[in-house]
Amino acid sequence: MTYHVGRFPLSANGRSLILNGGNGMIKVIVGDELNEVLGVHIIGPSASELVNEANLLITMEGTAAEDLLSIHAHPSVSEAIREAFLASEGRAIHIPNKKK
């Protein structure tokens, strides 16, 4: 199975900077064939609040595109999950995108 990865540092998330200095990061693993969410790694003080979104996506066999269609309030730490999915597609807003 082939996959691609998106990473987003919480230091690039405004709410995380206010709450804890931006320590931590989010990594998403997305299958290439169906764009399904295969895994999410959340490291940081807000992880216990963000794990629910990751759990729902994986349990419902959700896709990265479906997460990108959902609302992520601003300013919030949950925006970082959206940014990680955007990064997996080379479309991140608040960090430089890696060339594929």
pTM of the model: 0.93
Contact 89, 37 (CB under 8 A): no
For strand 37-43 and strand 25-31, is the pairing parallel, antiparallel, or unpaired?
antiparallel
> No. of H helices and E strands in the chain?
4, 3
pLDDT tens for the 100 residues of the chain, in order: 899 999 999 999 999 999 988 999 999 999 999 999 999 999 998 899 999 999 999 999 999 999 999 999 999 999 999 999 999 999 999 999 987 6
Q: What domains are there in the chain, each with its CATH number?
A: 3-88 (3.30.390.30)
Q: Which sign does the torsion angle of CA 27, 91, 53, 80 carry? A: positive
Q: Which residues are catalytic, by number?
A: 74
Q: Kindly state the DSSP code that residue 12 receives in the 8-state scheme.
A: G
Residues forming a β-bridge with 42: 26
